[in-house]
Amino acid sequence: MTPSGSSAPADILRAYAPQAGLRATLEPFARDADLRARLAANPFLMAPMAGVSDAAYRMMARAGGAALAYSEMVSVAGLHYGGAKTWELVLPHDPEPDIAVQLFGADPAQFLEATDLICERLGPRLALIDVNMACPVPKVTRKGEGSALLDDPARAARIVAACVSRAHVPVTVKVRSARRSGEPEVAAEFARAMEQAGAAAVAVHGRTASQLYRGAADWGVIGRVADVVSVPVIGSGDVRSPEAAVRMLRETGATAVMVARGSYGNPWVFDDARRLLGGVATEAPTIDRRLSALCCHVMLLEATGAHLARARSLAGWYLRGMPNAAQWRERAMRCATVGEYLQMVEAIRLACEALS
C-alpha cells in the first residue's frame, strides 16, 4: 500500500493490466547494445508530452509495449533551484525500469549541472537525456529555450557538448523542421551540427515551431535529416495509429518513431505497431479492454500521487467512440475519486452489455 492507502503501482499493473490486454511487468530499455540497435529492436517510443506523460501515463505506454517513455520536459533552471515539483517530473516511479529525461533551458552551464544531478540520482534507471529544441511555447522561446535554439546552433551545440561531457547515457536532441513556416528548413543542417557536438540521435518533429501542433506534419523533413546524419533519427508527427507508425518507419528512413497524441486512450498502439511491423494484422481494442485500461490508468494516477483532475481527459480519450460517449464524458467530469471512476466504468459496462 502507498501512503495514501492505495495499492502500489506494481500491484495495480499485476492485477489489472492483463485484463486490459497490457503487460503486467515493464521491460527495461536494453542496455547491452548501441543506441541504434536498441531502437531497432523495438522502434516505438512514447513521446515527451508536458502535462500528459507523467509516471502513470509512461507506465501505461510501456505496459502497451513502448520501448521507452520520456518524461515531460524539465527545466534545467528548475533543477538548479532543486524544487521538489521539478524533481517529481524526473524521477521514475516503481515499477518503471528506466526513463528518458527531457531537459529544456538555454544555459550550457545549467545543462551540465542538471546532467550531473540527474545521472547521480537516477543512476542505472536513466536511459537517455534528450534536449528539447522543439518547444514552440512563447513563455519558453522568449528565454531562448526550446525551438528558439534552432536560431542559435552554436549555443545548442555547447548545450549538447556540456551534457555529453557528463552523461553516462546517450544524449539526444529533439528539433522541429524550422522555427517559422515559410522560412527555409533548418533541421538537416542543424541536426548535423548537433551530431558533431556529440548527439547520439536526433528526434525530428515534422512541423515548424510556428505551426505549434496544427496542420499536417511533413514527414519529408525526417527523411532529409536521416539522409545527412549518421546517428539514428527518431520521427515524430501525426503518428495516430499503428499503421501510421509503421508507415513512418518505412517511408522516412527513421530508425524509430515517437507516438504522441496517437497514444491518447490507446496504450496498445505500441505493441500493435510492433506486430504490424512483423506482418501480423491487429484489431482495434475492444470496449472491455478500453474500460479495463481506464480503470488501471486512473488507479495508477492515484498511486503515483498525481492530481486526479488528469483522469478527466484520460476518460474522454478512453471512452471516445463508445455508445453514449458524450453522456459518459459528462459523468467523468463529476467524478472526484477513484471509486467514482470505477463505479462509472461498471455502469458503462452494464449499459454496453444491455445494448449488445
Ligand X SMILES: Cc1cc2nc3c(=O)[nH]c(=O)nc-3n(C[C@H](O)[C@H](O)[C@H](O)COP(=O)(O)O)c2cc1C
Binding interface with ligand X (CB under 6 A): 47-52, 72-73, 102, 132, 134-135, 174, 205, 213, 217, 236-239, 260-262
* Residue 204: strand pairing partners: 175, 235
CA dist 320 and 239 (Å) reads 18
The pairing of strands 171-176 and 44-46 is unpaired
In angstroms, what is the minimal distance from the CB of 219 to ligand X? 11
Which residue type sits at 350?
Answer: L
For residues 176 and 290, which CB has a smaller minimum distance to ligand X in the complex? 176
Q: Which of 135, 163, 296, 335 is catalytic?
A: 135
CB of 290 to ligand X, least distance (A): 20
Looking at the Cβ atoms of 134 and 200, the one nearer to ligand X is 134
Q: Considering beta carbons, is residue 21 or 136 the nearer one to ligand X?
A: 136
Residue positions counted in the chain: 356
**What's the CA gap between 31 and 287, in Å, rounded?**
36
d(CA 117, CA 307): 26
Q: How far is the CB of 129 from ligand X (least distance, A)?
A: 13
- C-alpha distances (whole Å) from 172 to each of 156, 178, 253 are 12, 18, 18
Active site residue 119: no
Q: How far apart are CA 253 and CA 225, in angstroms?
A: 9
Nearer to ligand X, 174 or 224 (CB): 174
Phi, psi of 284 (to 5 degrees): -65, 145
In the complex, least distance from residue 18 CB atom to ligand X, rounded to whole angstroms: 28
Comparing CB distances to ligand X, the nearer of 102 and 115 is: 102
283: cell is 484489431
What DSSP letter does each residue of 178-233 carry, written as one string?
-SSTTSPP-HHHHHHHHHHHT-SEEEEESS-GGGTT-S---THHHHHHHHH-SS-E
Rg (the chain; Cα; Å): 20
Q: How far is the CB of 104 from ligand X (least distance, A)?
A: 8
The set of catalytic residues is: 135
